[in-house]
Amino acid sequence: MSDADRQWGARLKQARLAAGLSQKMLGIEAGIDAFVASTRINRYELGIHRPDLLTVRKLAKVLDVPVAFFFADEEDEIAELLFRYGKVEPSVRTAVRKLLAE
């Protein structure tokens, strides 16, 4: 298992806990069969497996985070910014984009 897989799993767990979801509930809400939802999310979080892009998009939508949050390089600062950006109101996002464009 690579460091990237462990990091990906840690970010998934961070977002899941922040959303207050169990592994099973996250899996079910992302469209994973209820019978295997908990096990599948657990394996993703442990870095044993990594989901395909379609599943990542579904997980990100349920967790209300940008897909890029999971794939940001090792710099936790960028991942943290992406995580927070996904949680704010659209008006704040607009203000952030305007500020960064200056």
Question: Which domain CATH number covers 54?
Answer: 1.10.260.40
Distance set, CA 28 to CA 54, 69, 92, 95, 99 (Å): 15, 21, 30, 34, 38
Give one DSSP letter per residue of 39-90, joined into a string.
HHHHHHHHTS----HHHHHHHHHHHT--THHHH--S-HHHHHHHHHHHHS-H
- pLDDT grade, residue 34 (50/70/90)? very high
Q: CB 12: neighbour CB atoms within 10 A?
A: 26
- pLDDT value at residue 74: 66
The domain total for the chain is 1
What's the pTM? 0.81
- pLDDT grade, residue 102 (50/70/90)? confident
- Domain range for 90 is 3-101
pLDDT tens digits, 71-100: 887 677 888 888 888 888 899 989 988 888
Token pair 């509930």: residue: 25
